[in-house]
Amino acid sequence: MSDTVEFATVSPPDEPSRHAAAARHSQLTKPQGSLGRLERLGAWLAACQGQCPPEPLRRARIVVFAGDHGVAANGVSAYPSEVTGQMVTNFRSGGAAINVLAACAGAGVRVVDVAVDAETGDSEFKVRRSSGSIDREDALTEEQTQAALAAGKAIADDEVDAGADLLVAGDMGIGNTTPAAVLVAALTGAEPVAVVGRGTGIDDVTWMRKTAAIRDALRRAKPVTADPVALLRTVAGADLTAMAGFLAQAAVRRTPVVLDGVVSGAAALVAEELAPGARAWWVAGHRSTEPSHHLVLEQLDLEPLLDLGLRLGEGTGAAAAIPLLTMSVRVLAEMATFTDAGISGPATD
Ligand SMILES: O=C(O)c1ccc[n+]([C@@H]2O[C@H](COP(=O)([O-])O)[C@@H](O)[C@H]2O)c1
Ligand SMILES: Cc1cc2nc[nH]c2cc1C
C-alpha cells in the first residue's frame, strides 16, 4: 500500500506586486484602464511572480495527460478507444493540434501515459490501463488513486524544478468527457442532463447512452462527494486524478497555470478541494462548448480569456491564450510611462 499523498498549504499570490502592477499601469502611455483584461492579467502574473514588472515568460510547459476509460465500452464517444494511444504517437511526432498551437505560443509539450490501453513505450507514470467502468464499478483502487495523485504531483515538481514559469494540463482520452461531467455534477450539484455534452461530436442515440452512464456514475459518486480522494477513486480515472494532483501541486509551488477545457476544469474542481486556494494560481484559457465547463468556471469564479468554440482538449484552449499572457507581461515591462515619453497625463480640474 502506497503512502497517502498530501499537499502543502497553498499560499496566495503576492498582493503588493499586484498593486504595484496596477499602479504601473496607471503611469503607462494609454488612457487609464484602456488595456482592460490585459491589465488584470499582467497584474496577476506580477503577483504570481512576486515582482513588478514581471519577467517575460521563458518556459511555458504543456503536459498532456493521456488515459483510457472503461466507460467508453458503453458507447459514449464518437470515436473508438484505440484513438487515445494513436494520438499519443501523433503528439510525439508533432502532428497534433496541440503541437502546432504550442509552437505558436512558444510552449513545450510533454505527453504522459497515465492509463492508455495501448503500449506507448512510456511507463514511468503509468498507473494502469483503462479505468473501471464508472457507471458500475470504481474507476481505480485506493492504491492506484494514490499512485496517480503522486504521479501528477511529481510531474508538477519536475516541471517547476526544471524552470517552468507557466503550466498547462492538457488531456487526451476517448470517453473522458463522461467522468469529467460526473465530477462536475458531483461538485456543483447539477443534474446529469445539465452536464452531458457532445464530447467528440456524438449523435442523439450516443447522447442518451452517455446520459444514462453519467446518471449511474453520479449515483455512485453521491456518498463520497465530500471526500475528494474517494471521489477520484470512484468516478474519475488515473489521468484525471494525476491532473488534479498536478494542478494542486503547481499552486503549492507558486506556479501560474492556464486551464484548458472541461477535462482540466473537472480536475481543477477536485484540485481546489485537495489544496484550497489553488484557484488563485489559475486563469481560464477559454470556454469550451461543453455545457459543464460553464459550471466549472462559475464554481471557480474564473472568467475565460477566449471563447472560440473549441472542444478539442489536449491543452489547445490554454495554448491559444498563452500569447495574451505574454502580451500582458511585455506591456508592463516594455511600455513607456507618461514621464518617459513626455506625454501629458489625464486632465486635472
Ligand atoms: O476540452 C474540452 O472541453 C473537450 C471537449 C470535448 C472533447 N474533448 C476531447 O475529446 C475526447 C473526449 O471526448 P469523448 O466524446 O470521447 O468523451 C478527449 O480526448 C478530450 O480531450 C475535450
Ligand atoms: C482524433 C482525435 C484527437 C483528439 N484530441 C483530443 N481528443 C481527441 C479525439 C479525437 C477523436
Q: Is residue 111 classed as helix, strand or coil in its secondary structure?
A: strand
Angle between helices 97-105 and 316-334 in degrees, nearest 10: 0
* pLDDT at residue 281 greater than cutoff 60: yes
Residue 72 to residue 56: CA distance in whole angstroms: 42
Q: Could you count the other beta carbons within 10 Å of the beta carbon of residue 344?
A: 6
Write down the domain spans for the chain.
Answer: 60-318
Residue 86 to residue 327: CA distance in whole angstroms: 35
Band of pLDDT at residue 3, cut at 50, 70 and 90:
confident
pLDDT of residue 152: 98
The one catalytic residue in 142, 159, 314, 334 is: 314
Transcribe 165-186 into DSSP letters.
Answer: SEEEEEEE-TTTHHHHHHHHHH
Residue 282 to residue 276: CA distance in whole angstroms: 12
Residues above pLDDT 90, as percent of the chain: 98
| Ligand 2 centre distance from Cα of residue 87 (Å) | 7
For residues 213 and 202, the answer to whether their CB atoms sit within 8 Å is no
Q: Which residue has the cell 471526500?
A: 227
* pLDDT at residue 1 greater than cutoff 70: no
Cα dihedral 212→216→217→220 (10° resolution): 170
Q: Is residue 54 classed as helix, strand or coil in its secondary structure?
A: coil
| Ligand 2 centre distance from Cα of residue 20 (Å) | 42
pLDDT of residue 216: 98
The verdict on the CB of residue 88 being under 6 Å from ligand 2 is no
pLDDT of residue 348: 84
Residue 113 to residue 129: CA distance in whole angstroms: 9
Name 67's Cβ contacts closer than 8 Å, sequence gap at least 6.
84, 113, 114, 115, 116, 130, 131, 172, 173, 176, 237, 238, 239, 240, 242
Dihedral pair phi/psi, residue 172, rounded to 5°? -145, 120
**Which of 172, 288, 311 for mutating ligand 2's site (highest number of atoms within 8 Å of CB)?**
172
Q: Is the peptide bond before 228 cis (omega within 30 degrees of 0)?
A: no
Domain covering 60-318 assigned CATH 1.10.3470.10 in the classification:
no
Residue 15 to residue 173: CA distance in whole angstroms: 38
Give whole-number Cα distances, 252 to 6, 8, 152, 171, 256, in Å. Answer: 11, 6, 13, 21, 10
* pLDDT at residue 132 greater than cutoff 90: yes
Q: Is 191 considered catalytic here?
A: no
The verdict on the CB of residue 79 being under 6 Å from ligand 2 is yes
Q: What is the pLDDT of residues 176-213, one digit of tens each?
A: 999 999 999 999 999 999 999 999 999 999 999 999 99
Sequence-distant contacts of 305-312: CB under 8 A, at least 24 apart: 305/37, 305/41, 310/261, 310/286, 311/197, 311/198, 311/199, 311/261, 312/97, 312/261
| Ligand 2 centre distance from Cα of residue 263 (Å) | 13
Q: Is residue 115 classed as helix, strand or coil in its secondary structure?
A: strand
Q: What is the pLDDT of residues 253-262, one digit of tens each?
A: 999 999 999 9
The verdict on the CB of residue 172 being under 6 Å from ligand 2 is yes
Listed in order, strand segments (DSSP E) in 56-203 are 60-67, 107-115, 166-172
Q: What is the pLDDT of residues 81-120, one digit of tens each?
A: 999 999 999 999 999 999 999 999 999 999 999 999 999 9
| Ligand 1 centre distance from Cα of residue 177 (Å) | 5
- The residue-averaged pLDDT of 125-143 equals 98
Q: What is the mean pLDDT of the chain?
A: 98
Q: What is the pLDDT of residues 305-320, one digit of tens each?
A: 999 999 999 999 999 9
pLDDT of residue 2: 56
